[in-house]
Amino acid sequence: MLLEMPDLHKPTYHFSSPHGSCMPFDPNGCIYWKGKFHIFYIFQEGLEGAITHHWGHASSSNLIHWTYHPPALAPTNDSPEKGIFSGCAFLDREGLPVIAYYGIGAGICLAFANDDDLINWSKSPNNPVIPEPKRGDPLFDVYRVFDPHVWVEQDVYHAILGGQVKPHNQYDTAYLFTSTDLVHWDYQRPFYNPNPQWTEAIEDCACPDFFRLDDTHVLMCISHTHGTRYYLGSYQNGTFVSESHHRMNFPGGSCFASESLVDQMGRRIVWAWALSQLSNNNDYFSVMTMPRVLSTDTTKTLTVEPVRELELLRKKHRKLPSFSMANETRTFFDYSGRTQEFSIAIESNECDQFGLIVCSSPNRIEETRILFDLLKSEISIDTSDSSLDKNVYRAFPIIGKKLPKKDIAVQTASHQFEDSVTRIRLFIDESIMELYVDRHLCLTQRVYPTLANSRMTRLFVTNGSITVHQLEAWEMSPLIYTDGA
């Protein structure tokens, strides 16, 4: 059954949970199968009076119309796990879908699809196929059993399990296992070596997702402390050699727990959990980022763009001819709203900074500032004044036992303004913003305006001038959901 939830701050064109607030709400097992996109995700439900983790399931043929299905996986009294946690979906050597997941308290478990709609699954009688070593076991200090990602390579199953470097649990790595039959698994070695110049000792490699884009191999994952990130590098003989490291989330941001698939057109499409940024995690819903297409450019740099299917949601198009601004802030009354897409191209004429002010009240006591700082080569989203709600809390580190946390109101990322024209796509959907810049950067932010008139849009420039070559906007229609129960 779909829950009736308050509309306050609930996004309309971002995929959201039918189960209310979920903690966590990781996308898992994303797979394109028989003409449909399938997303599995973690949600919470009771088992004999205790709340534990299950896998929900939704599918779509076009990324616009989604059908919620009955839960795909749940802990049962006759299964070894106490809950269903993160994992992946893959095709076995016969080309049939298989789910690998971390069974809480047990280890890595498998489930096999019983139908082409991926509604019904049978758990392997051999679960856990990779048992979780307990403290005192000699293997406890050798590898971590957590968050599997599986693929087939030369008829051999390869699995990497997320974690930190054993035995001291400092710095990130993943652990490689292989199997010829999905039953017996052999530990091989750490899949890659961490680089202390890129990551901190408190970081881990969770929700690993390993794939090839053109001539580059990508290891996408999260740090529980820092959020979504990825390595680019080379891969040979079961070892990944990282050549660069990049963040997809920055302190104060909300991009977490990513998962990707390849569709019928060969696109690598990724979703991520957009974390709640309320101190009590008291969203009445949980939400994912829009599906994003990952690719590489001629310099082997990762590019990120929203899927084109979302353009089908556009309505009420507005467009202005080219204009210039100098040392001013200008309000665009016809561009107000809280469910919008903006497409903007701005040429900087030796100015220091320019930017947007969105979800702004007429008296500006609520507003979110998006700043493009050419002097510092930075882009930031400033949510200091986004909401009058005192429960807003942008925690950093995001998750970490015994780690002191602080509220980071300004999410800032480095960006090289290599072209005089900066191309921007901004998506606002009630309580979530996604900012795409020059196809190479995407920032995800949760915002919670409390005032009904916090809807206005402004442009500003300081210490110089800009030419706005493109300012287009569309209101966005909601996604369509069907209850498949």
Examine the pLDDT at 401 and tell me if it is beyond 50.
Answer: yes
Confirm whether 27-306 and 311-483 share one CATH topology: no
For residue 171, the one-letter residue type is Y
Return d(Cα 346, Cα 423) in angstroms, integer: 7
| CATH superfamily of this structure's domain 27-306 | Glycosyl hydrolase domain; family 43 (2.115.10.20)
Percentage, residues of the chain above pLDDT 90: 88
* Cross-strand partners of 410: 382
Report the pLDDT value the prediction gives residue 7, as an integer from 0 to 100: 65
Residue 5: pLDDT band by 50, 70, 90 thresholds?
very low
Report the pLDDT value the prediction gives residue 418, as an integer from 0 to 100: 84
| CATH superfamily of this structure's domain 311-483 | Exo-inulinase; domain 1 (2.60.120.560)
Examine the pLDDT at 4 and tell me if it is beyond 50.
Answer: no
pLDDT tens for 344-368 read: 999 998 899 999 999 999 999 999 9
Pick from 85, 91, 90: which is nearest to 109 by CA?
85
Mean pLDDT of the chain: 94
* Cross-strand partners of 263: none
Pick from 6, 16, 66: which is nearest to 480 by CA?
66
What is the domain partition of the chain in residue ranges? 27-306, 311-483
Question: Higher-confidence residue: 245 or 484?
Answer: 245
The highest-confidence range among 274-288, 349-363, 389-403, by mean pLDDT, is: 349-363
Report the pLDDT value the prediction gives residue 485, as an integer from 0 to 100: 64
pLDDT tens for 199-211 read: 999 999 999 999 9
Contact 343, 317 (CB under 8 A): no
Report the pLDDT value the prediction gives residue 77, as an integer from 0 to 100: 87
Six token digits for residue 21: 């607030």
pTM of the full structure:
0.95
Contact 64, 313 (CB under 8 A): yes
3-state secondary structure of 141: helix
Q: How far is CA 366 from CA 10, 12, 449, in A?
A: 18, 21, 7
